[in-house]
Amino acid sequence: MTQDEEKMVTPESVAEENERGLDIEEALSLVEEKRYAALRQMLRDAEPADIAELFDELPKQQYAVVEEMPANVVKRILQNVTPEARKTVNELLKYPEDSAGSIMTTEFVRLKQDMTVDEAFSLIRKVAFDKETIYTCYVTDRNSHLIGVVTVKDLLCADHSTKIADIMEDHVVSVNTLEDKEDVAATISKYDALALPVVDAENRLVGIVTVDDAIDVLQDEAEEDFAKMNAMLPTEKPYLRTSPWELYRSRIVWLMLLMISATFTGMIIGSFENALKTQAVLTLFIPMLMDTGGNSGSQASVTVIRALSLGEVDSSDVLRVIWKEVRVAILCGGSLAVLSFGKIFLIDKLLMHKPITVPIAIVVCITLLATVVAAKLLGCTLPLLVSKMGFDPAVMASPFITTIVDAVSLFVFFGLATIILGI
């Protein structure tokens, strides 16, 4: 730190800084705004001294930014920062992506159980400046094991000479470094906590996750689900800052996959081409059956995917979920079939003069009911199945379900038409 401060005041260093042209201020604001791609760009050719300077200016809770850097930049960062900063960076880096360890900060207040309230307050005053939060303090033994938690509120309401051991809460809710960050955020939200301690496999306290980071995790999670559920790969950046090329890459993969799979639906229609030639009026109902199937399926799948995300159901609930969805499907499918029967005769036959007979209407309405039931069943079971297999259920949302339900509904439609209409 001192070394760097000296560097700052010499005229040479000022000149040097100007020459190098790395705008530390701007880099810091990029970190603040989480514009990591721009920051990577900026740091790609940065001088080692610049990187060291940036890291000296960077608040410790922002160090996690190194995870956003390419490996060679990280290497240069580690070579050039102060030993103290290197230690923090390394601690953050060794935890897997999306783990509690990867989002925790090591800037928390650590107390000992034989301290008095007064001693605790002097310690807090001394370290308050660069701690992420001081309001929840953690009590550890000499081997860093987490043994209690005490809030500043507890400290304020206690006597000056009271020992921490007497007022600390020793039933501490903590999370493991390897726990999924989304579970950690959900725990913070559930307990209305300001922070949650993170411990290693030996129950040693290594960091805390604060409520503001938990909010970011919850929001990122929702945005990821929105993207995946709608056939996109998640992008990190705000919409207006994402280039058309980046948007293209996030969208084209699923579009191609789903386009190819929709080929099978086309093949089903193709195999009933002759039936369609004799009863061309059947074609009229294909879009309605496909859309209703898709909508019914995505209603069920999105509901179940979110319930999984929020921890309201898990894959062991599959039978309860199916039983609920079957009943909903029969209610929905039944109502739609009745409405559709009326619509077919009022609009399609009377108003549009289409050659519709009662058997045709019956085929359409039974298909509708069957499609809704199949869609809801697929919509609720596929996400549970995928989640059980350890994948993200969000990809089992509307677009994927729609493609399968399309095929099912056409099979039922033409199957019934063959039987009932004898074509």
- Amino acid identity of residue 413, one-letter, is F
Q: Does 138 bind its own copies (CB under 8 A)?
A: no
Q: Does 238 bind its own copies (CB under 8 A)?
A: yes
d(CA 155, CA 164): 8
Closest contact distance (angstroms) between CB of 319 and its own copies is 12
Q: Does 313 bind its own copies (CB under 8 A)?
A: yes
Stretch that binds its own copies, among 40-48, 94-102, 171-179, 297-305 (CB under 8 A): 297-305
Q: Does 280 bind its own copies (CB under 8 A)?
A: yes
Q: Does 371 bind its own copies (CB under 8 A)?
A: no
Beta carbons of 386 and 304 less than 8 angstroms apart: no
Listed in sequence order, the DSSP H helices in 310-394 are 318-343, 358-388
Q: Does 288 bind its own copies (CB under 8 A)?
A: yes
Residue of 105, 403, 408, 413 interacting with its own copies (CB under 8 A)? 403
Q: Does 361 bind its own copies (CB under 8 A)?
A: no
- Taking each helix axis as running N to C, give the angle between helix 48-57 and helix 11-20, from 0 to 180 degrees, rounded to the nearest 10: 110
Closest contact distance (angstroms) between CB of 338 and its own copies is 10
Q: Does 367 bind its own copies (CB under 8 A)?
A: no
Q: Name the residue among 407, 162, 61, 378 with its Cα closest to residue 264.
A: 407
Q: Does 230 bind its own copies (CB under 8 A)?
A: yes
Q: What angle do CA 165, 166, 168 make, to 5 degrees?
A: 65
Query: Which of 78/341 has CB closer to its own copies?
Result: 341
Query: Which of 137/206 has CB closer to its own copies?
Result: 137
Query: Which of 27/231 has CB closer to its own copies?
Result: 231
Closest contact distance (angstroms) between CB of 255 and its own copies is 6
Closest contact distance (angstroms) between CB of 13 and its own copies is 32
At which residue do the structure tokens 């409520």 appear?
211
- Stretch 95-114: interaction string toward its own copies, x if CB under 8 A: --------------------
d(CA 294, CA 277): 26
Q: Does 336 bind its own copies (CB under 8 A)?
A: yes
Beta carbons of 104 and 177 less than 8 angstroms apart: yes
- Amino acid identity of residue 353, one-letter, is H
Q: Name the residue among 74, 128, 73, 66 with its Cα closest to residue 92.
A: 66
What residues are paired with 148 via a beta bridge? 139
Measured from the Cβ of residue 87, the count of other Cβ atoms closer than 10 Å reads: 12
Q: Does 279 bind its own copies (CB under 8 A)?
A: no
- Stretch 187-206: interaction string toward its own copies, x if CB under 8 A: --x--x-x------------
Residue of 14, 15, 128, 358 interacting with its own copies (CB under 8 A)? 128
Measured from the Cβ of residue 30, the count of other Cβ atoms closer than 10 Å reads: 20
Tokens of 159: 């006597």
Q: Kindly determine how many residues on this chain lie close enough to bind its own copies according to the rule CB under 8 A.
A: 103
Q: Is 121 in a helix, a strand, or coil?
A: helix
Stretch that binds its own copies, among 37-45, 92-100, 281-289, 382-390 (CB under 8 A): 281-289
- Stretch 32-71: interaction string toward its own copies, x if CB under 8 A: ----------------------------------------
DSSP string, 185-220: HHHHHHTT-SEEEEE-TT-BEEEEEEHHHHHHHHHH
- Taking each helix axis as running N to C, give the angle between helix 398-416 and helix 358-388, from 0 to 180 degrees, rounded to the nearest 10: 150
CA dihedral sign of residues 151, 152, 154, 159: positive
Tokens of 242: 């994402």
Beta carbons of 99 and 180 less than 8 angstroms apart: yes
Q: Does 171 bind its own copies (CB under 8 A)?
A: no
Residue environment code for 63-72, b if the CB has 16+ CB neighbours within 10 A, otherwise e: bbbbebbeee
Closest contact distance (angstroms) between CB of 269 and its own copies is 5
Query: Which of 219/418 has CB closer to its own copies?
Result: 219
Residue of 71, 201, 240, 319 interacting with its own copies (CB under 8 A)? 240
Q: Does 303 bind its own copies (CB under 8 A)?
A: yes
Query: Which of 44/190 has CB closer to its own copies?
Result: 190
Residue of 402, 411, 412, 417 interacting with its own copies (CB under 8 A)? 402
Site for its own copies in 210-229 (CB under 8 A): 211-212, 214-216, 218-219, 222-223, 225-227, 229
